[in-house]
Amino acid sequence: MIKAIRGFKDILPSEACIWQYVETISQKILRDYGFSELRLPIIEDTSLFVRSIGQDTDIVSKEMYTFPDRKNHSLTLRPEGTASVVRAFVEHKMYARDQYKKFYYLGPMFRYERPQAGRSRQFHQIGAEIFGLAEASVDAELLILVYDLFSKIGLPSITLSLNSVGCPACRPPYKKILQEYLQKDHATLCLDCQQRSEKNPLRVLDCKNDDCQDIISRAPTILEHLCPTCQHHQQEVERLLKLSNAPYQINHRLVRGLDYYTRTAFEVTFAGLGAQNAIAGGGRYDNLVEEFGGPPTPAIGFALGLERVVLALQGQGTIPPPSPSIFLAALGEKAREKAFLLLRSLRQKGFCIQMSYQDSSLKSQLKQANQQGAQFTLILGENELNNQRIIIKDMEHASQEEVALEDISEVLKNKFLPFLAKREIF
RNA sequence: GUGGGUGUAGCUCAGUUUGGAUAGAGCUCUGGAUUGUGGCUCCAGUGGUCGAGGGUUCAAGUCCCUCCACUCACCCCA
């Protein structure tokens, strides 16, 4: 039997309805906040990711799906979305137009990692990016958007961790200070961290190895060594979050795994997801547009992991409400023919209605109606057809009444009013 | 990439220790009890390359080897 390859999954209908629910709500909120959708290619030139994410990051050095095409160009299945958004922003000179500076995207990303709960090789993100604004209020707005988003989706109990990773003016001096500090206890650090302290000392901070914990906990923090501009920016972001009653935790050890971040860096976690508990993350990247040949353009963005959001919703038993539906049971050849036409006419009027494809017993058709979760079943047999009437049965209350066939659409409309009133999104 | 656990019906699992004849249960599904009335109950039936391949043996779901997948942790991150 041929199976889906490792780390790639089918999303079956019972789960896909949760995906649709999350995607629909997210897109509505993003549009309300002024974001427009940007649809991007799934494959890009390999150098796009090497240059933006960073050669020495784990993503680039060991997790990318990179392969040569037929003309030996090195291509890569995108491991994240921001690089492509920046590429498109510069390529189409979108900086020249005011109206499109907030973008969102959604779609599959690919990383060659060991699969486990909440982590597959093809995974899906919804991301949002804002270009051209350096103000701290933009950072705050984006974080508040994240809160609104998760709250509307049905996950209000998230934890927001916040930090600053500085800028080209203050990060290098801090790196040196950290490196000097780490040098004193170099031998005590784990092997990984001994290497990291040379290449990328900031990454030592989020090491979970016991040997390193004591050293890390007493390490100088970056917030104490920010330049005045970064410091002011950070304080202003925090002030606006407090003003908005958006809780957050400063995490001095929060370091992102992508090199392009500057200043604000954050991560959203959800308890109960196990080891892979980060459901969203992002930060500011004020120099990336310029590095890709655009004019100096500050930017900030975030992405959320759809698999993990869906897992979190399933974990707390949140299941989107089924659409109200009708089942049409018909008995005998003549009634089935009439029902076939009625089915179409009711669908054209906007009703969600199904009928049995086989001329089976009423019992079996009612069973089908029950399985499909139909609120009402219409019963059309020879008797009803002869009198030009139809039975409408309320499945939940097990009650039924007979109405004139020509009135059925009006009767159903009235029956469905209370159901429709309860539904906000669909 | 490293280490631990697990793979038996569509789903959840027993059986593997100590090899033995047609591999079981519950749920689901189909039919009946109920001729045109679903959910509850009772009865019957359908459904299995026992993860894959190889080996040992008179005999393998059970023992051995290799591989694969899932899962947890490390790692990393969304």
Q: CA A336, CA A358: separation in Å to the nearest integer? A: 9
Q: Where are the beta strands (DSSP E) in A270-362?
A: 278-284, 299-305, 326-330, 353-355
- Asked if residue A366 keeps its beta carbon closer than 7 A to nucleic acid strand B, the reply is yes
Strand B nucleotides within 7 Å of a protein CB? 1-2, 29-32, 34-39, 49, 68-78
Residue nearest B31, CA–C1′ metric: A364
- Asked if residue A99 keeps its beta carbon closer than 7 A to nucleic acid strand B, the reply is no
Segment A39-46 shows an average pLDDT of 96
Q: CA A26, CA A57: separation in Å to the nearest integer? A: 30
Residue A370: strand, helix, or coil: helix
Distance A122 CA to B68 C1' (A): 19
First to last CA, chain A: 38
With bands split at pLDDT 50, 70 and 90, how would you rate the model's confidence at A422? low
**Window A318-337, strand B contacts by Cβ < 7 Å:** 331
Segment A41-67 shows an average pLDDT of 93
Question: Which nucleotide is nearest, taking the CA of residue A269 and each C1'?
Answer: B78
Residue given tokens 């698999």 in the structure block: A307
With bands split at pLDDT 50, 70 and 90, how would you rate the model's confidence at A148? very high
- Asked if residue A371 keeps its beta carbon closer than 7 A to nucleic acid strand B, the reply is yes
- Neighbouring CB atoms inside 10 A of A89's CB total 24
Q: CA A329, CA A318: separation in Å to the nearest integer? A: 32
pLDDT in tens, A190-204: 777 887 888 788 888
- Asked if residue A57 keeps its beta carbon closer than 7 A to nucleic acid strand B, the reply is yes
Distance A36 CA to B15 C1' (A): 58
Q: Tokens at residue A353, please?
A: 């209605």
CB A272 within 8 A of CB A315: yes
CA-to-CA dists, residue A371 to A66, A366, A377, A397, angstroms? 46, 9, 12, 16
Question: Which nucleotide is nearest, taking the CA of residue A370 and each C1'?
Answer: B38
Q: Which helix (H) or strand (E) holds A109?
A: strand A102-110
Q: CA A87, CA A280: separation in Å to the nearest integer? A: 22
- Asked if residue A42 keeps its beta carbon closer than 7 A to nucleic acid strand B, the reply is no
Q: CA A241, CA A386: separation in Å to the nearest integer? A: 69
CB A304 within 8 A of CB A279: yes
CB under 8 Å to A231, separation ≥6 — which residues? A223
The pLDDT of residue A421 is 61
List domains and CATH numbers for chain A.
13-170+226-315 (3.30.930.10), 326-415 (3.40.50.800)
Q: Tokens at residue A309, please?
A: 């959001």
Distance A198 CA to B11 C1' (A): 52
- Asked if residue A174 keeps its beta carbon closer than 7 A to nucleic acid strand B, the reply is no
The pLDDT of residue A289 is 96
Question: Which nucleotide is nearest, taking the CA of residue A279 and each C1'?
Answer: B78
Give the alpha-carbon dihedral of A371, A377, A383, A388, to 10 degrees: -150
Residue A139: strand, helix, or coil: helix
* Largest interatomic CA distance in chain A: 95
- Asked if residue A275 keeps its beta carbon closer than 7 A to nucleic acid strand B, the reply is yes
The pLDDT of residue A420 is 66
For chain A, the helix, strand and coil percentages under 3-state DSSP, each to the nearest 5: 45, 20, 35
Reported pTM: 0.90
Q: Provide the pairing of β-strand A36-37 with A102-110.
A: parallel
Question: Which nucleotide is nearest, taking the CA of residue A371 and each C1'?
Answer: B38
Let me know if A181 is exposed, middle or buried by CB neighbors in 10 A (0-12, 13-18, 19+). middle
Distance A1 CA to B22 C1' (A): 27
Mean pLDDT, chain A, rounded, equals 90
Q: Tokens at residue A186, please?
A: 């170099």
The pLDDT of residue A99 is 66
- Asked if residue A63 keeps its beta carbon closer than 7 A to nucleic acid strand B, the reply is yes
Amino acid at A132: G
- Asked if residue A136 keeps its beta carbon closer than 7 A to nucleic acid strand B, the reply is no
A3 or A7: which carries more pLDDT confidence? A7
* pLDDT at position A235 over 60: yes
- Asked if residue A115 keeps its beta carbon closer than 7 A to nucleic acid strand B, the reply is yes
